[in-house]
A = this chain, B = another copy of it.
Amino acid sequence: MVTETGTHTFESLELDCGVTLSQVDAAYETYGSLNADRSNAILVAHAFSGDAHAAGDGGWWFNMIGPGLAFDTDKYFVICSNVLGGCRGTTGPGSINPVTGQRWAMTFPQVTIADMVRLQKKLVDRLGIERLLAVAGGSMGGMQALEWAVTYPESVAAALPIATTAQHSAQQIAFNEVGRQAIMADPDWAAGNYYGQKLPGTGLKLARMVGHITYMSDDSMREKFGRRVRANETSPGGEQFEVESYLQYQGYKFVDRFDANSYIYITRAMDTFDLTQRGALGVLFDGMKARFLVISFTSDWLYPSYQSLEIASALRGRNCDVAYCNLDSRYGHDAFLVEVDKQKEVVAGFLASTFRDVTRQKAQPQKVQRG
């Protein structure tokens, strides 16, 4: 699989909050080859804690992107970039403010999902792609896919919002708020100015523990841990539940790779994302040209199926081209990362038919011209 890794820097980026950022980096990777008429490019948008490294060893969607996989790199040119506000190469609160020469920290402007997509659009333009074959993503990646279709309807042939929503519910906001409060309660957070000092690891670890519970289902936790215990000398009785040990380990691991301020900024972007602010979903989708494949998972209680159904219903109500698959799974929200076979079955076919349509559309005007 041909893979490229890079960073593009953009002179300026206007944000929803009114601020204009200058010298904005967008870290990205690409997999596969762009075809001659540049019609086979798919943008894959990552979820909250992901990054540009989507495919190959250690990639967050390694099982979905590659030769012969759901996003088949023998056919398509797949792009993934780290989101604005992130901490994995793209400009975020941990970056240097070019004006002050200091880290932004909490002086970084509050970014939105639309801001993230605006930066992705610049990147896609820079890569010389006029129209994406598809934008796909799970969770916060799905929000970006929706945002792309609504904001740049001429620039995307298909959208695949997976395990996502058009707006966070009170419960989704609440879980994110617990994570933010856990970070900000850590004295090492120091109002965000911890760079070069002790990281707010305790708070970030706690936030991640809560997150992990919401990513799994009651069933999958039972299957994976049940009530099994393991030795732990600091616990009463000398043992602890395996689920306790697992969550703590996941929390620790996360501290090594994620910036606490990015956690705060990105979760706020998710919480404030609300497509319905611009009008009823149906009205928003009126005249929508992109095709949609909306996917949810039966046991996902963090992004429940009814939220995907709302999107699909609104699209269908406006006579848009939409397929909705509520895939059976026990894996909760994590399903979009692990239910590979079930997703491949619907994704591969959807992409193939979209590619056929796009190719036909490109061919037809030429025929007319000849006639």
Q: Contact residues of A with B, CB < 8 Å?
A: 17, 110, 167-171, 173-175, 177-178, 181-182, 185-187, 202-203, 205-206, 209-210, 213, 216, 218, 221-222, 224-227, 236-237, 241-244, 247-248, 268, 271, 274, 301, 304
Contacts and interface: CB of A to CB of B under 8 A. Distances in A.
B167 A227 contact: yes
A236 B167 contact: no
Given A174-B243, A187-B187, 20 more contacts: A170-B222, A170-B224, A170-B243, A171-B213, A171-B218, A174-B213, A174-B244, A174-B247, A175-B213, A177-B243, A178-B206, A178-B210, A181-B206, A181-B209, A181-B248, A185-B202, A185-B203, A185-B205, A185-B206, A227-B274
20 contacts: A169-B221, A170-B221, A170-B224, A170-B225, A170-B226, A171-B213, A171-B218, A174-B209, A174-B213, A177-B243, A178-B210, A181-B206, A182-B206, A185-B186, A185-B203, A185-B205, A206-B206, A210-B210, A218-B304, A301-B301
A181 B247 CA distance: 11
A174 B110 contact: no
Contacts of A248: 181
A176 to B, nearest CB: 9
A115 to B, nearest CB: 13
B304 A236 contact: no
Given A168-B227, A170-B226, A170-B241, A177 B247 contact: yes
Which secondary structure characterizes the binding site on chain A?
helix
A194 B53 CA distance: 45
A185 B177 CA distance: 18
Contacts of A171: 213, 216, 218, 221-222
Chain copies in the assembled complex? 2
Contacts of A110: 236-237
A205 B182 CA distance: 10
Contacts of A247: 174, 177-178
Given A170-B221, A203-B185, A237-B110, A177 B209 contact: yes
Interface hub of A171, A175, A242 (most chain B Cβ within 10 A): A171
A330 B367 CA distance: 60
B177 A241 contact: yes
Nearest to A217: B171
A268 B241 CA distance: 11
A119 to B, nearest CB: 19
B213 A173 contact: no
Contacts of A242: 170
Sort A-B residue pairs by CB-CB distance and give the 5 closest, nearest first: A170-B221, A110-B236, A170-B225, A170-B243, A185-B202
A218 B307 CA distance: 12
B237 A17 contact: yes
A301 to B, nearest CB: 7
A236 B268 contact: yes
Interface hub of A17, A243, A268 (most chain B Cβ within 10 A): A243
A221 B185 contact: no
Contacts of A213: 171, 174-175, 178
A232 to B, nearest CB: 12
Contact of A178 (B202, B209, B274): B209
A227 B276 CA distance: 11
Nearest to A201: B185
A170 B222 CA distance: 6
B218 A169 contact: yes
